[in-house]
Amino acid sequence: MAAPMNRQIVLAARPQGEPKETDFQFVEARMPEAVPAKMLLRTLYLSLDPYMRGRMSAGPSYAAPVEIDAVMGGGTVCRVEASQINEFAVGDIVEAYTGWQEFALSDGRSVRKLDPTIAPITTALGVLGMPGMTAWTGLMNIGQPKAGETLVVAAASGAVGSVVGQLAKLKGCRAVGIAGGERKCRYVVDELGFDACIDHRRGDFPDALKAACPKGIDINFENVGGPVFDAVLPLLNTFARVPLCGLIAHYNATELPAGIDRAPLLMRQMLTKRLTMRGFIVFDFASQQPDFLAEVGPLVRDGRIKYREDIVDGLENAPRALIGLLRGENFGKVIVRVSPEDQPG
Amino acid sequence: MAAPMNRQIVLAARPQGEPKETDFQFVEARMPEAVPAKMLLRTLYLSLDPYMRGRMSAGPSYAAPVEIDAVMGGGTVCRVEASQINEFAVGDIVEAYTGWQEFALSDGRSVRKLDPTIAPITTALGVLGMPGMTAWTGLMNIGQPKAGETLVVAAASGAVGSVVGQLAKLKGCRAVGIAGGERKCRYVVDELGFDACIDHRRGDFPDALKAACPKGIDINFENVGGPVFDAVLPLLNTFARVPLCGLIAHYNATELPAGIDRAPLLMRQMLTKRLTMRGFIVFDFASQQPDFLAEVGPLVRDGRIKYREDIVDGLENAPRALIGLLRGENFGKVIVRVSPEDQPG
Could you write out the three-class secondary structure of B284-342? Answer: HHHHHHHHHHHHHHHHHHCCCCCCCEEEEECHHHHHHHHHHHHHCCCCCEEEEECCCCC
pLDDT digits (tens, 9 = 90+) for B86-111: 999 999 999 999 999 999 999 999 89
Which residue in B153, B194, B162, B198 sits closest to B180, CA to CA? B198
Which residue in A201, A223, A207, A202 sits closest to A152, CA to CA? A223
A281 reaches B (C-beta below 8 A): yes
Which pLDDT value is given to residue A345?
44
DSSP for B176-196 reads EEEESSHHHHHHHHHTT--SE
CB–CB contact B257 A260 (8 Å) = yes
Which pLDDT value is given to residue B345?
44
CB–CB contact B244 A272 (8 Å) = no
Average pLDDT for B62-76: 91
CB–CB contact A261 B262 (8 Å) = yes
Average pLDDT for B192-204: 97
Which pLDDT value is given to residue A263?
84
Residues B303 and B127 sit within 8 Å (Cβ to Cβ): no
A234 reaches B (C-beta below 8 A): no
Q: CA triplet B169, B308, B26: central angle to 5 degrees?
A: 140
Helix (H) or strand (E) holding A130: helix A130-137
> What is the pLDDT confidence band of residue A343, given thresholds at 50, 70 and 90?
low
Which pLDDT value is given to residue B54?
87
Which pLDDT value is given to residue B161?
96
Q: Nearest-CA distance from B258 to chain A in Å?
A: 4
Least confident of A121-125, B21-25, B255-259: B255-259
Q: Nearest-CA distance from A206 to chain B in Å?
A: 19
Which residue in B335, B315, B308, B285 sits closest to B155, CA to CA? B308
Report which of residues A3 and A48 the model is more confident about: A48
Which pLDDT value is given to residue A2?
66
pLDDT, averaged across chain A: 93
Helix (H) or strand (E) holding A229: helix A226-232
Residue B246 DSSP symbol: -
Q: How far apart are CA A335 and CA A312, in angstroms?
A: 6
Beta bridge partners of B260: A258
Which amino acid is it at A289? Q
pLDDT digits (tens, 9 = 90+) for A153-164: 999 999 999 999
Report which of residues B22 and B58 the model is more confident about: B22
Contacts of A272 in chain B (CB under 8 A): 60-62, 279
pLDDT digits (tens, 9 = 90+) for A202-240: 999 999 999 999 999 999 999 988 889 999 999 999 999
pLDDT digits (tens, 9 = 90+) for B115-159: 988 899 999 999 999 999 999 999 999 999 999 999 999 999 999
Whether residue B223 has pLDDT greater than 50? yes
pLDDT digits (tens, 9 = 90+) for A117-170: 889 999 999 999 999 999 999 999 999 999 999 999 999 999 999 999 999 999
* For chain B, percent of residues with pLDDT exceeding 90: 82
Q: How far apart are CA A330 and CA B244, in angstroms?
A: 39
Contacts of B255 in chain A (CB under 8 A): 260
Residue of B nearest to A238 (CA): B62
Q: What is the pairing mode between strands A24-30 and A39-47?
A: unpaired
Which pLDDT value is given to residue B62?
67
Q: How far apart are CA B158 and CA B142, in angstroms?
A: 20
Average pLDDT for B29-54: 92
> What is the pLDDT confidence band of residue A49, given thresholds at 50, 70 and 90?
very high
Which amino acid is it at B117? T
Average pLDDT for B288-297: 95
Q: How far apart are CA B36 and CA B84, in angstroms?
A: 6
Average pLDDT for A161-180: 97
Report which of residues A1 and A72 the model is more confident about: A72
Q: How far apart are CA B199 and CA B186, in angstroms?
A: 10
A216 reaches B (C-beta below 8 A): no
Residue of B nearest to A60 (CA): B272
Q: How far apart are CA B115 and CA B194, in angstroms?
A: 30
Distance from chain centroid for Cα B177: 16
Q: How far apart are CA A151 and CA A156, in angstroms?
A: 11
pTM: 0.89
Q: How far apart are CA B48 and CA B40, in angstroms?
A: 22
Average pLDDT for B56-82: 90
CB–CB contact A256 B261 (8 Å) = yes
Contacts of B62 in chain A (CB under 8 A): 238, 272-274
CB–CB contact A263 B266 (8 Å) = yes
pLDDT, averaged across chain B: 93
CB–CB contact B274 A62 (8 Å) = yes
B304 reaches A (C-beta below 8 A): no
Residues A9 and A318 sit within 8 Å (Cβ to Cβ): yes
CB–CB contact A270 B277 (8 Å) = yes
Which pLDDT value is given to residue A318?
98
CB–CB contact B270 A256 (8 Å) = no
Residues 6+ apart with CB under 8 A from A342: none
Average pLDDT for A105-121: 92
pLDDT digits (tens, 9 = 90+) for A11-46: 999 999 899 999 999 999 999 987 889 999 999 999
Whether residue B216 has pLDDT greater than 50? yes
Which pLDDT value is given to residue A60?
66
Q: Which of B250, B260, B280 is nearest residue A256 as measured by Cβ atoms?
A: B260
A12 reaches B (C-beta below 8 A): no
Average pLDDT for A193-205: 97
Mark residue B37 as left, alpha or beta (left: phi above 0; alpha: psi -120 to 50; beta: remaining).
left
Distance from chain centroid for Cα B239: 27
Per-position b or e across A60-86, b if 16+ CB within 10 A of its CB: ebbeebbeeeebbbbbbbbbbbebeee
DSSP for A168-220 reads HHHTT-EEEEEESSHHHHHHHHHTT--SEEEETTSTTHHHHHHHH-TT-EEEE
**Which backbone phi and psi does A309 adopt, to 5 degrees?**
-115, 145
Quickly list H helices, chain B.
51-55, 130-137, 161-170, 182-190, 205-212, 226-232, 263-272, 289-301, 318-327
Least confident of A263-267, A269-273, B150-154, B276-280: A263-267
Residues B206 and B212 sit within 8 Å (Cβ to Cβ): no
Least confident of A82-91, A109-118, A306-315: A109-118
Which pLDDT value is given to residue A59?
74
Q: Nearest-CA distance from A285 to chain B in Å?
A: 12
> What is the pLDDT confidence band of residue B61, given thresholds at 50, 70 and 90?
low
Least confident of A56-60, A118-122, A269-273, B309-313: A56-60
Q: How many CA atoms lie within 13 A of A179 on its CB side?
A: 28
Residues A120 and A129 sit within 8 Å (Cβ to Cβ): no
From residue B134, give the alpha-carbon distance in Å to each of A329, B26, B116, B153, B161. 48, 30, 22, 13, 10
Average pLDDT for B318-336: 94
Residue of B nearest to A226 (CA): B264
Which pLDDT value is given to residue B248?
79
Average pLDDT for A312-339: 95
Whether residue B302 has pLDDT greater than 70? yes
Whether residue B208 has pLDDT greater than 50? yes
CB–CB contact A272 B279 (8 Å) = yes
Which pLDDT value is given to residue A64?
81
* For chain A, percent of residues with pLDDT exceeding 70: 97
CB–CB contact A60 B272 (8 Å) = yes
